[in-house]
Amino acid sequence: MTTRLEVESAIKQLPEGEIRDLAKWLQEYLDEMWDRQIEADLASGKLDRLIAQAEEDIATNKVRNLDEVLRDG
């Protein structure tokens, strides 16, 4: 089994282009993990309360335009 420190050491020996490719791959891998977690949470009902609250806020016009939020932030 390779340790994290061994992986870090190996990465430091790679050319910059390969490190950038690895970083891109790692971000894509993390994004896929996130997507799978969201899908699992959605399927299990963990997000039902939040979805219901968002739908209620939309129905009662308790929302703001994203441009307005970004401008005020």
Nearest 5°: phi and psi at 15? -65, 155
31-67: per-residue pLDDT in tens?
999 999 999 999 999 999 999 999 999 999 999 989 9
Look at residue 15 in the predicted model and tell me its pLDDT. Answer: 98
Closest listed residue to residue 41, CA positions, set 1, 49, 57, 12: 49
Give the distance from CA 3 to its chain's centroid: 25
Residue 31 CB coordination number (10 Å): 10
Per-residue confidence band for 8, with pLDDT thresholds at 50, 70 and 90: very high
Give the distance from CA 46 to its chain's centroid: 17
CB 20 within 8 A of CB 26: no
Look at residue 21 in the predicted model and tell me its pLDDT. Answer: 98
Residue 73, pLDDT > 90, answer no
